[in-house]
């Protein structure tokens, strides 16, 4: 069942308090809703180029800000759980700017719309609900609460993105979500809790509601190569994902995404996206 949708995006300062915590997801990660409405983030493990890192920083008003947590490499079998300690936690929702069909060519599209991401489940209308090979995506990261949205798109001026099928153009995508975000808004007395297992015991990190003058706490979850290629991507995003979807139909497996670089694409642009995928979200 897809994530619940909302057309409301709380305003950032100065019009609103903004989020207390921001999660940013990048690299070979597979987002799907579970039976409890949480977001399961499968960490793709079958590509030796991609390495997981998790970093938490609480950004105060005076930089620099040292990390509170750094995890590098495979998680323990317990994975990582992120949720609000509340009797009535907000749960997971996705931001969509309207309830109609998403048109990527509409100039009025909100750049934060979650539908800029690619949902592999929708590629083939005959595709049954995708089953993920747990050994290829575990341990998973469970995000129990947050507003999912597109945190950063590819820039159409820097890269042309096309969906192909069997090597032929299927349609132009214009732009895709390169980084998916999850904003968390805490109420008075609430905290965000991260739990995982390491060094022989359960570990916990508590992130309280920010003070009025503080900037949000930032959680970076990345599963990408140590060094991003300077030119066109040297691997297929879709081919990597299909490795852990054993029931992908032959039609689904024909799809791929092509990134054509435009202009000079200096360092720091979206020249070679390494993007998360959505599964039935």
**Residue in 216, 14, 7, 19 with CA at minimum distance from that of residue 112:** 7
Domains in the chain: boundaries: 4-154+176-232
| DSSP per-residue codes, 35-84 | TTS-EEEEE--S-TTEEEEEEEEE--SSS---EEEEEESPPPTT-EEEEE
Which whole-number Å values give the CA distances from 79 to 54, 87, 195, 197, 266, in the listed order?
12, 23, 8, 7, 36
Residue 228 has a pLDDT of 66
Q: Is the pLDDT of residue 227 over 70?
A: no
Instruction: Round to whole Å and give the CA distance between 224 and 239.
Output: 15
pLDDT at residue number 132: 95
Is residue 234 scored above 70 in pLDDT?
Answer: no
* Residue 277 predicted with pLDDT over 80: yes
Residue 268 pLDDT greater than 70, yes or no: no
The mean of the pLDDT values for the chain is 90
- What's residue 231's pLDDT? 58
The percent of residues in the chain predicted with pLDDT above 90, rounded, is 64
pLDDT bracket for residue 261 (50, 70, 90): confident
Give the CA angle between residues 83, 89, 94 to the nearest 5°: 80
Rg (the chain; Cα; Å): 19
Identify the band that residue 272 occupies on the pLDDT scale cut at 50, 70 and 90: low
The predicted-structure confidence for 6-25, as pLDDT tens digits, reads as follows: 999 999 888 888 999 999 99
Structure tokens at 126: 């005959």
Q: Encode 121-172 in three state secondary structure.
A: HHCCCCCCCCCCCHHHHCCCEEECCEEEEEEEECCCCCEEEEEEECCEEEEE
Looking at the predicted structure, is the pLDDT value of residue 266 above 70? no
91 has a pLDDT exceeding 90: yes
Q: Which residues of 63-99 are buried (b: 16+ CB within 10 A; e: fewer)?
A: eeeeeeeebeeebeeebbbbbbeeeeebbbbbbbbee
Nearest to 103 by CA among 42, 173, 43, 38: 173
Band (pLDDT 50/70/90 cuts) for residue 99 is confident
pLDDT band, residue 226 (cuts 50/70/90): confident
The tens digit of pLDDT for each residue in 105-148 reads: 888 899 999 999 999 999 999 999 999 999 999 999 999 999 99
| pLDDT of the residue at 270 | 63
Spell out a b/e string for 4-36, using b for 16 or more CB atoms within 10 Å of the CB, else e.
eeeeebeeeeeeebbbbbbbbbbbbbbbbbeee
Stronger pLDDT, 34 or 213, i.e. the higher one? 34
Is 221:267 a contact under the CB 8 Å cutoff?
A: no
Q: What is the pLDDT of residue 42?
A: 96
CB atoms within 10 A of CB 251: 14
Q: Which helix (H) or strand (E) holds 32?
A: strand 29-33
**Does the structure show a pLDDT above 80 at 2?**
yes
Instruction: Tell me the pLDDT tens digit for each residue of 46-78.
Output: 887 888 999 999 877 777 888 899 999 889 988
Classify burial at 46, counting beta carbons within 10 Å of its beta carbon; exposed 0-12, middle 13-18, buried 19 or more: middle
Is the preceding peptide bond at 117 cis, omega within 30 degrees of 0? no
C-beta atoms surrounding 122 within 10 Å: 13
Q: What is the pLDDT of residue 33?
A: 96
Q: Is the pLDDT of residue 213 over 60?
A: yes
| Phi and psi angles of residue 250, each rounded to the nearest 5 degrees, phi first | -55, -35
């Amino acid at each position: 069942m897809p994530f619940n949708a909302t057309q409301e995006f709380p305003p950032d300062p100065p019009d609103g308090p903004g989020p207390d915590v921001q999660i940013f997801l990048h690299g070979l990660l597979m987002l799907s809703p579970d039976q409890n409405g949480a977001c399961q983030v499968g960490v793709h493990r079958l590509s030796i180029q991609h390495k997981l890192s998790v970093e938490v920083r609480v950004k105060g008003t005076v930089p620099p800000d040292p990390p509170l947590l750094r995890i590098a490499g495979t998680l323990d079998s317990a994975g990582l759980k992120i949720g609000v300690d509340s009797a009535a936690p907000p749960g997971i929702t996705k931001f969509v700017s309207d309830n109609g069909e998403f048109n990527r060519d509409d100039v009025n599209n909100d750049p934060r719309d979650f539908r800029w991401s690619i949902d592999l489940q929708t590629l083939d209308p005959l595709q049954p609900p995708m089953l993920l090979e747990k050994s290829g995506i575990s341990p998973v990261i469970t995000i129990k609460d947050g507003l999912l949205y597109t945190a950063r798109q590819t820039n159409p001026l820097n890269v042309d993105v096309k969906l192909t099928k069997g090597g032929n153009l299927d349609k132009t995508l214009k732009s895709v979500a390169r980084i998916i975000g999850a904003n968390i808004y805490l109420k008075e007395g609430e905290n965000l809790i991260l739990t995982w297992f390491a060094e022989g015991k359960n570990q916990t990190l508590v992130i309280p509601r920010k003070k009025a003058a503080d900037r949000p706490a930032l959680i970076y979850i990345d599963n990408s190569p140590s060094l991003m290629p300077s030119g066109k991507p040297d691997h297929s995003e879709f081919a990597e994902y299909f490795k852990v979807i054993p029931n992908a139909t032959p039609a689904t497996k024909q799809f791929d995404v092509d990134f054509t670089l435009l202009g000079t694409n200096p360092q720091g642009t979206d020249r070679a996206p390494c993007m998360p995928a959505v599964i039935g979200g």
